[in-house]
Amino acid sequence: MKRSACLAALGLALSLSGCRCGREELLPTPPPTGAAEPGSQGLVPSRDSPAVQAMPPDMRSALASVAPLVESVKAAVVNVEVRSGAPSRRGQEEGAPWEEEGEPPSGGAPWGPFTPFGQGPREEPSRQGIGSGFIVDARGLVLTNNHVVEGATEIHVQLPDGRELGAKVLGTDPLTDVALLQLQRGEDGKSLPVVRLGNSEALRVGDWVVAIGNPFGLGSSVSLGIVSAKARDIEAGPFDDFLQTDAAINPGNSGGPLFNLRGEVVGINTAIIGQGSGIGFAVPSNLVQALLPQLEKEGAVTRGWLGVAVQDLTPDLGEALGLPAREGAIVNDVTEGTPAEAAGLQPEDVIVAADGQAIQSGRALTRTVALKAPGSALILSVYRGGKKQELKATLGTRPDLEGVGPRAAPEAQAEEPRHHVGLGLADVDARLSRVQELPAAGALVTDVDPGSAAADARLVPGMVVVEAQGEPVRRARDLLRALREARPGESLLLRVVSPGGRRELRALTVPEE
């Protein structure tokens, strides 16, 4: 085939020199009168064709152009520029099959779970990064990806109208790669454009979607495609539930919005497959909507937790177990002292529904539980010995460290010396110590401010401080007292334990007042 045009999206004539299609015959272009002529070489189908007439009116009008949609929403899509003082702690080794779509202009590694273009994380002392975002509240709230702003010391947001505003991180959730920023507005009195979150569950495979962002620094770039698949698990985290799209997404689109044809955001563009073409992934808007209140009020997400190890129920296993169900989550282990044990769950139970919602797999159960608040009641439909029954579980708090960890105790929060050393602390949770092979007592590091004295001392979330200046640290308040008593400029020798049990020394210098 020698044609130089490719059918990139139904109803849009896109001239792509050198692009080859998998078809020998292309749809004819109707002339301005609307009557198709055999000799035409364009790609827009006639509005009078049976295929177009069979479509709903809103889809027929959308086929003409997405320009009105773009004009209505693009003012709220922003560029996010980040300066980072330290390389990301996250990343994969060289040759990783998945790649994060988000790349600094210099070509360095981004802040995400996937390494771009097969490169490992680079040890650079400081770097500039780019990404995208969108304003969801007139107060200046901006949604983007966590990997775009992770480790940032400075954040600048550029609006399409030319304004440039500083921003600070209001909340992050590394497990879903979502971050919420607060714009630091001036006194110009100008209002901010906003877009609203839509219902990602209402999307169907094949629905049109529009991506807008900042690929390779080219702000306000627009691409059109369809939803290629839903609920994709790309092994980026325990709560993977990505939308897949063939709308063009490139490095720099990270954090940008994916719109439906109503102009609602149905996803946050997050990742691509580097070896492929037209395979991008977005965090669903319904998941983001569920996280938003906690990100704004708490700065982090506290998740519900059952305390079970599960695997997928397959049709073969269902038949072997004599169950009518062919999808669900098989309980392999119940951790002692957990909500699962209190609810009466046992190994070999098969969970097929939670609060009436069907559970198709182990990951589906994990996501369902994680979206519930700690303390929530959850009704589990369970097969045991071939008989169905219901169990009621009261969820606990998920004891993971892939974020800021467990919430600090009120006492520690009230006395937190963040303004001095940039360190957030909490008492060690007993369940956490078992899971992460940590000491049963000590001061758990829950948060470290970038560029702070704590960051300079190479303290990271998840470490437990067990000794300060030769004195034992059994609770967060012990370390807080040592920090209060230290003289400005004094270096405190800390003994810390990292997840897995590795013991190390750190020197924390108390900054001058």
Gap between the Cα atoms of 305 and 310, Å rounded? 13
Q: Which residues pair with 353 in a beta bridge?
A: 358, 381
- CB 310, CB 329: distance < 8 Å: yes
- 452 catalytic, yes or no? no
Task: Determine which helix (DSSP H) or strand (DSSP E) holds 174, and give its type and residue range.
Answer: none
Do residues 464 and 440 make contact, with C-beta atoms less than 8 angstroms apart?
no
The Cα 143–Cα 214 span in angstroms is 14
Q: Say which of 200, 221, 254, 452 is annotated catalytic.
A: 254
Residue 41 burial (CB < 10 Å; 0-12/13-18/19+)? exposed
Calculate the CA 273 to chain-centre distance.
16
Angstrom distances, CA of residue 448 to CA of 227, 317, 403, 417, 459? 38, 46, 11, 11, 7
Q: Of residues 84, 88, 177, 447, which has the active-site annotation?
A: 177
Check 46, 147, 427, 447 and give the catalytic one: 147
447 catalytic, yes or no?
Answer: no
If we measure between CA atoms, which residue out of 139, 134, 136, 144 comes closest to residue 82?
144
C-alpha span between 315 and 39 (Å, rounded): 54
The radius of gyration computed from the CA coordinates of the chain, to the nearest angstrom, equals 26
Which residue, among 161, 260, 162, has the nearest Cα to 203 in the 3D structure?
260
* 254 tagged catalytic: yes
Residue 329 in tokens: 């989550």
Name residues whose C-beta falls within 8 Å of residue 465's C-beta, 6 or more positions apart in sequence: 425, 442, 443, 445, 473, 479, 494, 495, 496
| Residue 89: CB atoms within 10 Å | 12
Which helix (H) or strand (E) is 285 found in, with range? Answer: helix 285-297
Indicate the SS3 state at residue 454. helix
Q: Catalogue the active-site residues.
A: 147, 177, 254
